[in-house]
Amino acid sequence: MDAVLPWWDIPLLIGLGLFAGGLAGLLGIGGGLIFAPLLLWLDLPPHQALATSSFAIVPTALAGLVTHLRSGTIPSRSGLAIGLTAFASALLFGGLAGVVSGWQLLVMQTLIYVVLAFTVRARPEEEQPQDDDADDKPLLLAGVGCIAGWTAGMLGLGGGLVMVPLMNGPLTVPIHSAVRLSTVAVFFSASAASLQFLHEGRGIPWMGLVLGGVAALAAQWTARRLDHFDAVVLVRILRGLAVLLAIDSCRRAVHLILA
């Protein structure tokens, strides 16, 4: 399916692309939580919007990943474990997304956001785990990578909004390390999902890559400044986004059901 955008939508795409990229570099989320609602707002059907969102996530996450690799701040064993499992899982779930209706995909999104809004917790700085612990849990982080693949393959989301609270909470990975590891998983899961969508002819690759290319500029800028942000502030941003996006996804799901 091709789409022709009115010229007045292009500045909106650029502006929201920069906003999504800034959040991606800061929170390790890939930008899908902004891309998917934006593309739905532009009247793309849910399956097309979520597939196009995956195309946009790839360059966005790549920009943050390159920045973290250059700084040497990604734990090697954990990064490899979460990246490979995210790639494999996204290939699996990407093939299943086409058999699920649009409103069901949106309901899944809503449930994810609601769970996160209630589980993510802002902890005082003295309660944050230490960075030395980030490379001690490769098997557990491989399981987190599977979650990333599911959200990318089924929902067109990078999965960072799920992975970062999960790593920082139950797995006690430091928030800054969780963001960096999430960026690894987001890149690999979105790449695998995009390959699946290309094979199936779903989504609009040019639109996703243009949107993601703009977002990549902002993602690199914020990724370089990640350590300047307080951990509690990062967690609170994640919680606020989860609440807002739960409301939006629920509204869209109800609209599709009633229609």
Q: How confident is the model at residue 119 (pLDDT cuts 50, 70, 90)?
A: low
- Answer yes or no: are the C-beta atoms of 39 and 156 closer than 8 Å: no
Does residue 246 surpass a pLDDT of 50? yes
- The more confident residue out of 156 and 245 is 245
Q: Match 């009115």 to its residue by tokens.
A: 6
- Say what the pLDDT of residue 102 is: 72
Q: What is the pLDDT of residues 4-49, one digit of tens each?
A: 555 556 777 788 788 878 877 776 666 777 787 778 777 788 778 8
- Say what the pLDDT of residue 121 is: 59
Does residue 101 surpass a pLDDT of 80? no
What is the residue-wise DSSP string for 69-97?
HHHT-S-HHHHHHHHHHHHHHHHHHHTTG
Does residue 1 surpass a pLDDT of 50? no
* C-alpha angle 219-222-223 in degrees, rounded to nearest 5: 75
- Say what the pLDDT of residue 158 is: 60
- Answer yes or no: are the C-beta atoms of 173 and 129 closer than 8 Å: yes
100-111 per-residue burial string, b: 16 or more CB within 10 A, e: under 16:
eebbebbbbbbe
Length of the chain, in residues: 259
Can you tell me whether residue 138 is helix, strand or coil?
helix
Does residue 170 surpass a pLDDT of 80? no
Does residue 247 surpass a pLDDT of 70? yes
Lowest pLDDT segment from 41-50, 62-71, 84-93, 191-200: 41-50
